[in-house]
Amino acid sequence: VVCGACGKTFTRTHWGWGKYKKPIWICRTRRENGKKGCSIPTLDEDKLQEAFVRVVNRLLADKDTLISCMLENIEKVFREQASVVDLAAIDGELKELQGEFAALVKLNLKTGIDDTIYGEEYSRIAGRIEELKSKRSSVTLAEIVRQETLGRMRDITEVLRSMDTLREFDEELFGILVERIKVMNLVQVEFVLRSGVGVTEII
């Protein structure tokens, strides 16, 4: 849960005693510095949960459009982030450089290259190898993230397709659908879905 006023996260705590005790969410800035620190008040957890149920039912009312929009947004992001780096080309250059590196060391052992020339060539090859390894790692990581995102999207679409309505708060569904809640003001929050779609709701 994120504060729309100061940008800090909310923290979960409890208010009241005994049977009147209930979970609430409060902005960290407000908790530490009071009303002067942040104007966003505390929120009852049950209000957030009720708002989530209403959001899900709004989405389910036109779930085919929602699913299409979610998939389109993900595909768009992937197209924008698509790497033009050719892993085969990186691996080929790495192999060549490693061969050059081995040849340089061997030549130095046999003939004793000038220290300055040897040092410069050694640094050039080693530096390029590290650069390529870093680039390769970034590409591999991006592909892992892409596959994880596609997996989450499949989970989300399967859940939505199987549902007609949500009667009460479902923590597991919340975890699948929602990335964060942004508290806009006293009466309005935005549920930011894992697909990137934001849905505003009154609390």
pLDDT for the residue 6: 93
What would the mean pLDDT of 13-19 be, rounded to a whole number? Answer: 90
pLDDT for the residue 28: 95
C-alpha span between 92 and 29 (Å, rounded): 53
pLDDT in tens, 173-201: 898 889 999 999 889 999 998 777 789 99
* Cβ-based neighbour number of residue 113 at 10 Å: 16
Reference 23, options 48, 44, 51; nearest CA is: 44
pLDDT in tens, 40-62: 989 999 999 999 999 999 888 88
Sign of CA dihedral 29, 31, 32, 34: positive
Q: In what order do the strands lie in the sheet with 2-3?
A: 2-3, 178-183, 188-193, 198-202
User: What pTM was estimated for this model as a whole?
Assistant: 0.61
User: Is residue 79 pLDDT above 70, yes or no?
Assistant: no
C-alpha span between 180 and 39 (Å, rounded): 20
pLDDT in tens, 80-133: 655 555 777 888 899 999 999 899 888 888 888 888 888 898 899 999 999 988
Residue 5, both tokens: 């006023």
Residue 36, both tokens: 């002067």
